[in-house]
Amino acid sequence: MYVDSDQEKRMEVMEDLSLRELLALKEIHLTGQTSNKRLVRKFVEEEMIVDIEVDSLLLTHKGRSLLVRGSPALWDIAT
């Protein structure tokens, strides 16, 4: 299977979500908003969320998958 450099970069980002980023995704999932506006811009660029109205955010399929899966770097912390 061929993976171009853009796909590789997106895959790396998906693997390296911080706890802060995961919590922001959870907040968006629960409330449709987040207090961290800097992450909103990043999440939109990486197609994890969409801005459907002013201050109304929605997780994309990718964002929901990341929220459910979490980050491998954080898996050890949970145990």
Q: What is the pLDDT of residues 55-67, one digit of tens each?
A: 799 999 999 888 8
Model confidence band, residue 45 (pLDDT cutoffs 50, 70, 90): very high
Contact by Cβ (8 Å): 67, 25: yes
For the chain, the domains span 13-74
Residue 13, token pair as written in the block:
């980002």
Partners of residue 50 on adjacent β-strands: 58
Identity of the residue numbered 54: V
Q: Which CATH architecture has domain 13-74?
A: Orthogonal Bundle (1.10)
Can you give the pTM of this predicted structure?
0.69
Three-class secondary structure of residue 58 per DSSP:
strand
pLDDT at 50 over 90: yes
Model confidence band, residue 46 (pLDDT cutoffs 50, 70, 90): very high
**Alpha carbon distance 70, 35 (integer Å):** 20
Instruction: Report the b/e string of 32-49 with b at 16+ CB within 10 A.
Output: eebeeeebbeebeebebb
Determine the angle formed by the axes of helices 61-69 and 19-31, rounding to 10 degrees: 120
4-41 pLDDT per residue, tens: 565 555 555 455 788 899 899 999 999 999 988 899 99
